[in-house]
Amino acid sequence: MATSTSGSPSGTPSAAASDPMAALTAPGSPFELAEEDVLGVPLRVLANRPRSLSEFVARSAGYGDREYVVHDDGTRWTYAEHARAVASVAAALRDRYGVEPGDRVAILAANRPEWLITFWATVSLGAVAVGMNGWWAGDEIRYGLADCEPKVLVADRRRLERLPDATVPVVEMESGFADLVRYAPDAELPAGPGDEDAPALILYTSGTTGRPKGAVLTHRNVIAMQNVQALLAARAMAHVPADRRPASPPAGRWLVNSPFFHVSGLLAGAVAAFADGHTMVLFSGRFDVPAVLATIERERCTNWSVVPTVGWRVVNHPDSGAYDLSSVARLGGGSAAFAPELVTRLQQVFTNAKGAMGVGYGLTESGGVATSAGAAQLEAAVGAIGAAVPTVQVEIRGEDGTRLADGEEGEIWIRSPLVMREYWRNPEATAKSLTEDRWLRTGDLGLERNGQFFMATRRSDLILRGGENIYPAEIEHCLDAHPDIAESVVVGVPHPELGEEVKAVVVPKPGGALTPETLSAYVGERLAYYKVPSYWEIRTEPLPRTATGKVIRAVVTGAKAADLVEE
């Protein structure tokens, strides 16, 4: 059966004898595993874990004058300053705006320290932080506010300009937030909720087709994500020879440019860095390769997580070799599958991260990571997303919900203590995505081979041509490796006899000369004939993308209006 039982109640991680995971998770170890009831379902969890996110804030004060966050406007906060600010802002939200446990506080801004302070203050009160999409236009913002009904909206000036008619109390970060920080400088930090399954966070799905849905993540979900990342880091360190292993691992400097309203920026970036005392270097606004690489060089960043779109822009930029990137020791990634060529070229640019690149697969609804793959796996095969991470069960199932055999393609199902509680006020959507025993139906197609999972595509993106299944990602990886192509997307178009045909939309690099004939010949040399696009569209404007780098196919095809405001 195509089933991973990594950390599951029914089995133990299938790992080589040399894998230190068994020792790390054994009884009495820091990452000891236990089976507990999670919303009515027995799941494998880490036994020694915080029960509230406020515990992370309380612990962080011990890092004192260590640099916590560096903003690209020059602002710098220490951990001690941040902890005091969180307690004061929590008191102000409670006293001035009546925020109580279960109430929502909406955050709408670029990545900046005020975003994080508001988040930690909100969850410490037992209230629910709502990370609103910073690329939303006015109508989308109004939709989100009507959906989550917050007690207060904390936003930056640029986004408030899209909302001249706000119907909820507003704190503008530039002009009003400092007053919250000064409100109660000696305030005690709230203890957080008594129930770790209480909602902590609402993150809205990308909404590439239809209205966004709010995924409700609990304190347990967010903490479990950080626990898994810490465990994977400990496993990596265990492979380092003892005489080269530091007694106390040094604090890293993490470059974070993924938006906080997405799991990659907030959970995999901000929360993970904060919980272990690392420094976050924030880069906000429009992505610019020279500016980002200059930031890495200046701040001596050690860790960076990228999406494929950003990765290609970095490796293809003519000046990438002009910067000192030797401080980067670890590269991560997610959002979409990485082409093997991209993995290789990223490690050529960031030479000290060679062999230390890992990519995770997950969704907002899965609370972040579900599988993880290293550089060797990613370079070996297109679509590799790795093995299930500890405490996470991953299975491949057919349309009738039955498990499929090894090598058979089906839908990826996930169950873990990271999986969302529900969709906010949307029981119908919740029932379609979550089974009664809390398996999440991802809508992604994939397969398993010997414990390793491979991504095919989103079910809705699959192209059916004359009985053949065609996966856009495979063709896109081929096109993105073309020396004259900046970006591409592949979609299906109706055909009276075949059902669907393949269409590719490509954007050339400056100076690139592309024609349908040369592109067809290029793809035909590398892929089967039926995967060669029959229709080509060459555009000069960048492809429409979500803030997390995913192409909005419905906008490309004209089925949906472009309603996001790009930074």
Which fold is adopted by the domain 79-193?
Answer: Rossmann fold (3.40.50)
What CA–CA distance (Å, rounded) separates 226 from 245?
Answer: 22
User: Nearest 5°: CA angle at 100, between 219 and 227?
Assistant: 10
User: How far does the chain reach from its first CA to its final CA, in angstroms?
Assistant: 45
What CA–CA distance (Å, rounded) separates 372 from 366?
Answer: 14
Dihedral, CA of residue 512, residue 517, residue 522 and residue 525, to nearest 10: -170
User: Nearest 5°: CA angle at 181, between 275 and 225?
Assistant: 20
Instruction: Report helix, strand and coil shares of the chain as percent, to nearest 5.
Output: 30, 25, 40
What CA–CA distance (Å, rounded) separates 90 from 82?
Answer: 12
pTM: 0.85
| pLDDT in single tens digits along all 567 residues of the chain | 344 544 433 333 444 346 788 899 999 999 999 999 999 999 999 999 999 999 999 999 999 999 999 998 889 999 999 999 999 999 999 999 999 999 999 999 999 999 999 999 999 999 999 999 898 888 889 999 999 999 999 999 999 999 999 999 999 999 999 999 999 999 999 999 999 999 999 999 865 446 789 999 999 999 999 999 999 888 877 766 666 666 666 789 999 999 999 999 999 999 999 999 999 999 987 889 999 999 999 999 999 999 887 898 899 899 999 999 999 999 998 767 788 888 999 999 999 999 888 888 999 999 999 999 988 888 887 778 999 999 999 999 999 999 999 999 999 999 999 999 999 999 999 999 999 999 999 989 899 999 999 988 777 788 888 877 788 888 998 898 899 999 999 999 988 878 889 999 999 998 888 999 999 999 998 888 889 999 999 999 999 887 767 788 888 887 766 666 766
Instruction: Please tell us whether the domain made up of 463-557 is placed in CATH 1.10.1270.20.
Output: no
What CA–CA distance (Å, rounded) separates 31 from 237?
Answer: 14
- 512 has which bridge partners? none
Classify 103 as helix, strand or coil: coil
Q: Any idea where the domains of the chain sit in the sequence?
A: 79-193, 463-557
What CA–CA distance (Å, rounded) separates 457 from 373?
Answer: 17
- The residues, ordered by sequence, that sit 6+ positions from 317 with a Cβ below 8 Å of its Cβ are 289, 290
Cβ atoms < 10 Å from Cβ of 101: 15
**Signed CA dihedral, 258, 331, 358, 281: sign only:** negative
Q: Minimal CA–CA distance to 385: which of 452, 457, 304?
A: 452
